[in-house]
Amino acid sequence: MTRPTRGSGAATIIGGLLVAAGLLFLLGELLNVNLSEALWPLYILAPGLALVVLGLTQRHGSGLTIGGSIVTMVGLLLLYQNATDHWQSWAYAWPLVAPGGSGLGMLLYGTRSGNGGMARAGFWQIVTGLALFVAGILFFEGVLGISGNRFPLPSWVLPGIVILLGVLLLLRGVSARPDIHAGEVEPQPQRPSHAPAPAPAPLAADAAASDSDRQAPSERTHDEEPPAPGG
């Protein structure tokens, strides 16, 4: 009879990521390539991925998954900005971190745990983040030109983006499901059937009878006369 092996899938995946990162930096040292200048965002990206994997393997790991998704999105943005030197994109890329990153974590964990409500909420957060990201690109790059070059945009683009955002919000409001527990009254706690019932309070007549019984012997002792001597 074989004994069941004990282990953790999350520890295995995290260990594999650490080994891969170590081999990558070791290769850079052997080839005399300074990878730290180009790949330093991996120090943020790798822990974020590890948190996502760890959260998905836990029974109550929604917080780890959502937090890891946010950290992962920060790492991806830093990796892009470090490679392209396009740091101005932070002006409109932040919706990819939140609500985009948090929505991605909710979608992943909701799908993994079978929680449809969490998955739907995460999906709509991702849609909202992407819409804000696109609107930010059109405004900061197309209108303000913060990177130095403006996009040749037609005059109807910005009004169209505003209308698109409004339509997305309307769809979000229409598709929201009502609370099935709304209006319900919480049940009052009931006494277990095996618990003894409280004793009823004594009636006034019973109390008066017991008082008269206690006073009767005392009255008889005062009324009785001692017997005559020699009688």
Tens digits of residue pLDDT in 180-211: 444 444 555 565 555 555 565 555 555 555 55
**pLDDT at residue 26 in the model:** 77
**DSSP string computed for 90-130:** HHHHGGGTTTHHHHHHHHHHHHHHT-HHHHHHHHHHHHHHH
Higher pLDDT, 80 or 216: 80
Whether 113 shows a pLDDT value over 60: the answer reads yes
3 state SS of 61: coil
pLDDT over 70 (residue 18):
yes
Q: Is residue 145 very low, low, confident or very high in pLDDT (cuts 50, 70, 90)?
A: confident
pLDDT of residue 122: 94
Q: What is the pTM of this model?
A: 0.61
Window from 41-45, 57-61, 216-220 with minimum mean pLDDT: 216-220
